[in-house]
Copies of this chain bind each other. A is one copy, B any other.
């Protein structure tokens, strides 16, 4: 690359754009669908419904322990597909670059995108790059959209939780949020906590294959964390979800930092964890299966689904360690902007 920084010309659609693509992106991302370089990628159809999702990533800082904005953009969109029971098939990549962005940083992020895409087995088949003048964006924003296919017979939904179901979480909560906090200037945090960013589609595939009929829904607790996702499920299903504080897996260091900063780990973002609502009778076996997988090694049953007494609206109740009860409302306010 001739230039060490991104120039306005790199977004022209002309020669400089072609040079950027040819020198930086194509060597990394090359695949038949992308290499056609037409206005759309063309994909062979597969059986089943098509899942379609989109997410923009504006995380600050771009690089953090355990990953960067590129890793996050691949994993996050794969997870949105996986949560619907879809096998992710293809991703698109929309980059908005700020003039002056270091080419080295872009190179690192592109490598992360490639590595995450390859490891997950989900290719980037369509891409677009825009450049805005210095001061009009913050280095780089990434949109990834994705499509996947849902096998016939799979039916999942946040509205399907019923009395007697169990609530499972696939691992420790709050790691991503704390990893981001730890890298922000001025907080003076010295943590060894890494982001949990990871693609969950293989874990979901195993669970659906083995326990398909026992699973009501999967959700990934990103922005808003566990509490917000469970609230959404409780409202959609009109049930009361009771979770047991003592059984929620949280790393001691995450817990301490939350205490220190007055944060609640139940509202922190995660990028490699899933919540599953499952038939109560299958819960133990599902957790054992999850624990055999790296991404589910700390899986735990953390609660149960009950009828709502009011029959009006769903709600989430936390059974605290000291024996009390606390209503868990969805997140209000934004304790950690630009977490993903």
Q: Is the interface of A mostly helix, strand, loop or mixed?
A: mixed
Find residues 119-177 in chain A having any chain B CB closer than 8 Å to their own CB.
125-128, 130-133, 135-138, 141, 143, 145-148, 150, 157-158
Flag whether A214 is at the interface (Cβ < 8 A).
no
Question: How many of chain A's residues touch chain B, expressed as a range?
Answer: 35 or more
Establish whether residues A13 and B137, one from each chain, have CB atoms under 8 Å apart when the complex forms: no
Q: Out of B53, B55, B337, which one reaches A41, CB within 8 Å?
A: B53
Establish whether residues B143 and A56, one from each chain, have CB atoms under 8 Å apart when the complex forms: yes
Question: A36 contacts which chain B residues (CB < 8 A)?
Answer: 157
Establish whether residues A333 and B12, one from each chain, have CB atoms under 8 Å apart when the complex forms: yes
Quote the shortest CB–CB distance from A22 to chain B (angstroms): 12
Q: Out of B93, B157, B333, which one reaches A54, CB within 8 Å?
A: B93
Question: A55 contacts which chain B residues (CB < 8 A)?
Answer: 94, 128
Q: Which of A42-50, A256-264, A281-289, A296-304 contacts B (4 or more CB under 8 A)?
A: A42-50
What 0/1 readout, one digit per residue, does chain A (236-270) give for beta carbons within 8 Å of chain B? 00000000000000000000000000000000000
How many copies of this chain does one complex carry? Answer: 2
Flag whether A307 is at the interface (Cβ < 8 A).
no
A138 (CB) vs chain B CBs: closest residue: B136
A51 (CB) vs chain B CBs: closest residue: B40
Establish whether residues A94 and B143, one from each chain, have CB atoms under 8 Å apart when the complex forms: yes
Flag whether A186 is at the interface (Cβ < 8 A).
no
Flag whether A58 is at the interface (Cβ < 8 A).
yes
- From known contacts A96-B58, A219-B39, A223-B13, infer whether A52 and B228 are also in contact, taking CB-CB under 8 Å: no
Residues of A within 8 A of B (CB): 8-9, 11-18, 36-45, 47-58, 60, 79-81, 83-84, 86, 90, 92-96, 125-128, 130-133, 135-138, 141, 143, 145-148, 150, 157-158, 219-220, 222-224, 228, 232, 329-334, 337-338
List 23 A–B pairs whose Cβ atoms lie within 8 Å, in order of A's numbering: A8-B334, A12-B331, A12-B333, A12-B334, A13-B331, A15-B329, A15-B330, A37-B158, A38-B157, A39-B80, A40-B81, A40-B86, A40-B148, A42-B49, A43-B49, A43-B52, A45-B47, A54-B93, A57-B130, A96-B96, A126-B145, A133-B338, A143-B145
6 cross-chain pairs, A with B, having the tightest CB-CB distances, nearest first: A13-B223, A14-B331, A54-B92, A145-B145, A12-B334, A143-B143
